[in-house]
């Protein structure tokens, strides 16, 4: 390999378009503006990139056959170079609130939902199914599972992407998911090292500082990553966070030699691929320029440089650093060998291509969808059931109104939550009407919901990150004042129940996400077609006294 090819292999880059060679004109324009090439094939030919990451917003993931064709086109471009090299094709398919590939692929419950289910077997099965479907469409590296321990309820970026707040429980679930994904011959990625769970700052928009002592880090943050390594994890993603106890220089972990080499490589003994979180995120760009970030990341111990804001700037900066001697070619070779070993392990040098028939045999099969439904039922958590209003009898609660928040779909393909719930109730024999009231309902919308509730036997309200000042509280109070039983369903964070205290709701459930599979499961639980089996994987503090716990880890009601 030439030096230019070696440098290219270190990069994993976004690219617009549904095709590697013939994207739509708008995507060609976007590629020219951001990357200076027209297509994925041109980018591979010019920069010799070692990987490409798929995004729905980049129009990479329209449908399974299209994704398979795009993957094949990317691999053909890689093998057409002077040194034929297959590519690592990656995406963030965590499931739950982070999905890039939507239906008809099987969408599984997310991490916190699986944590609520508490079954390692379910976690492993979910990973195995998800991995098999990704492999069938040519995606061979998944940036999952999230190994962060979410001990901060105010965490704006992790939250339900974590399996929970108990380090040992999270470690067990991470190991199970790693084994599940990698049993399907795709690379799994534990993220975000050294642990992004205790922050109130989003590293997409700022640089979080985590003030855990070294002892606290070892107790809270380290166990899931140690478990992932013991399970044979193929890759680990870095975090754009500062942990002063781990690196007094207060560099972001992505750029920290003491953290990535000193702790991850030397203390934990990890010799797999280390990939950065996106280099376009503000957390890694606050202290150094875009030309220095990739160089410092490599010097810290990184192997793959993910999605820099300018590939040309970053690629040339690394090339110049090697030519000047700031980074030795031997150091680059260490990373290249790790990347090539991973590609070899995944069989990409033998056959990197996929087929439409393989897609049809694997993606969204009846067996996979049924497994997702069963797993989701075991995650739904019942937190309140005053007067045993649940399960709802079709005799006494035939006519339902479903109102509430309708956030954008995680995968871009599933239906609005209120519509999904109403449809699910209709399939269970209820008469259900949907009315979207949003995450911040105005007075007129609340009045409309109250009017619609009259004559109904029960109202189901989908709540989304309720705060002390949220008008979602007003909505629930106004509906409860009609005398119609109100069932609230927290479709993201389970903490909503604390903020809804005193509003008069009759029952509360947590689904941990608003994907169809979890909402359908919630409908079956409400209707008594399934038992609520989930328990809280995080504590819920009281809203009026956060020092006191309203519901502890492990809390959950049954029928």
Among residues 499, 455, 457, which one has the least CA distance to residue 474? 499
Query: Which residues are CB-contacts of 94 (< 8 A; sequence separation ≥ 6)?
Result: 110, 111, 143, 144, 145, 146, 161
Q: Is 455 exposed, middle or buried (0-12, 13-18, 19+ CB in 10 A)?
A: exposed
457 catalytic per annotation: no
Among residues 122, 101, 408, which one has the least CA distance to residue 111? 122
The sign of the dihedral angle between the CA atoms of 434, 439, 441, 446 is: positive
Query: Which residues are CB-contacts of 363 (< 8 A; sequence separation ≥ 6)?
Result: 64, 104, 105, 106, 133, 136, 137
Exposed e or buried b per residue across 172-193, where buried means at least 16 C-beta atoms within 10 angstroms of its C-beta: bbbbbbbbbbbebebbbbbbbb
Q: Where are the alpha helices (DSSP H) in 414-455?
A: 417-427, 443-453
Tell me if 265 sits within 8 A of 220, measured CB to CB: no
95 catalytic per annotation: no
* 3-state SS, one letter per residue, for 123-144: HHHHHHHHHHHHHHCCCCEECC
Tell me if 80 sits within 8 A of 72, measured CB to CB: no
Q: Which secondary structure element, helix H or strand E, spans residue 343, and what is its range?
A: helix 329-345
Among residues 356, 417, 390, 367, which one has the least CA distance to residue 558? 390
Quote the CA–CA distance of 332 and 7 in Å, as a whole number: 8
Coil, strand or helix: which one is 243?
coil
Quote the CA–CA distance of 243 and 504 in Å, as a whole number: 43
Locate the DSSP E strands across 100-221. 141-142, 187-193
Residue among 65, 204, 290, 312 flagged as catalytic: 204
Residue among 63, 247, 251, 277 flagged as catalytic: 277
Neighbouring-strand partners of residue 399: 431
H helix and E strand count, the chain: 20, 16
The DSSP 8-state label assigned to residue 91 in this structure reads E
Quote the CA–CA distance of 522 and 421 in Å, as a whole number: 8
| Structure-token pair, residue 388 | 């045993």
- The residues carrying an active-site annotation are 204, 277
């Amino acid at each position: 390999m030439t030096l230019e090819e070696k440098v290219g292999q270190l990069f994993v880059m976004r690219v617009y378009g549904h095709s590697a060679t013939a994207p739509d004109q708008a995507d060609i324009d976007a590629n020219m503006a951001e990357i200076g090439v027209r297509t994925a094939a041109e980018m591979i030919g010019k920069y010799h990139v070692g990987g490409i990451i798929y995004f729905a917003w980049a129009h990479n993931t329209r449908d399974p056959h299209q994704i398979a064709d795009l993957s094949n086109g990317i691999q053909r471009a890689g093998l057409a170079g002077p040194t034929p090299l297959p590519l690592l094709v990656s995406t963030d398919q965590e499931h739950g609130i982070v999905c890039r590939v939507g239906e008809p692929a099987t969408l599984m419950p997310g991490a916190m939902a699986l944590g609520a289910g508490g079954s390692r077997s379910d976690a492993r099965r979910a990973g195995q199914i998800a991995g098999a479907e990704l492999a069938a469409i040519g995606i061979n590296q998944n940036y999952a599972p999230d190994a962060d321990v979410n001990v901060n309820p105010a965490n704006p970026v992790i939250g339900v992407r974590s399996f929970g707040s108990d380090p040992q429980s999270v470690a067990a679930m991470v190991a199970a998911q790693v084994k599940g994904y990698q049993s399907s011959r795709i690379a799994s990625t534990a993220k975000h090292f050294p642990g992004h769970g205790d922050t109130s700052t989003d590293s997409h928009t700022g640089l979080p500082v985590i003030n855990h002592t070294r002892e606290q880090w070892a107790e809270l943050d380290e166990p899931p990553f140690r478990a992932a390594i013991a399970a044979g994890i193929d890759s680990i993603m870095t975090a754009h966070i500062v942990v002063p106890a781990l690196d007094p220089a207060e560099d972001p972990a992505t750029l920290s030699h003491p953290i990535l080499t000193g702790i991850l490589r030397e203390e934990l003994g990890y010799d797999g691929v280390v990939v950065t979180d996106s280099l376009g995120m503000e957390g890694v760009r606050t202290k150094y320029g875009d030309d220095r970030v990739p160089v410092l990341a490599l010097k810290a111990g990184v192997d793959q440089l993910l999605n820099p804001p300018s590939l040309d700037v970053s690629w040339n900066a690394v090339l110049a650093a090697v030519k000047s001697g700031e980074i030795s070619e031997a150091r680059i070779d260490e990373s290249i060998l790790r990347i090539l070993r991973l590609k070899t392990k995944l069989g990409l040098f033998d056959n990197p291509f996929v087929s439409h028939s393989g897609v049809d045999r694997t993606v969204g099969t009846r067996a996979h969808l049924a497994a997702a439904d069963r797993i989701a039922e075991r995650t739904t958590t019942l937190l309140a059931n005053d007067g045993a209003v649940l399960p709802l009898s079709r005799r006494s609660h035939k006519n339902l109104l479903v109102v509430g928040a309708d956030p954008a779909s995680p995968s871009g393909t599933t239906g609005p939550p209120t519509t999904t719930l109403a449809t699910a109730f209709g399939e269970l024999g209820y008469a259900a009407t949907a009315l979207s009231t949003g995450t911040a309902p105005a007075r007129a919308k609340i009045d409309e919901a109250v009017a619609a509730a009259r004559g109904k036997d029960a109202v189901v309200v989908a709540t989304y990150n309720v705060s002390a000042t949220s008008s979602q509280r007003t909505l629930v109070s106004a509906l409860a004042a009609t005398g119609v039983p109100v069932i609230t369903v927290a479709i993201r964070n389970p903490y909503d129940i604390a903020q809804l205290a005193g509003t008069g709701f009759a029952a509360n459930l947590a689904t941990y996400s608003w994907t169809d599979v979890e909402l359908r499961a919630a409908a079956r639980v409400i209707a008594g077609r399934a038992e609520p089996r989930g328990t809280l994987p995080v504590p819920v503090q009281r809203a009026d006294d956060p020092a006191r716990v309203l519901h502890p880890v492990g809390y959950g009601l049954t029928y």
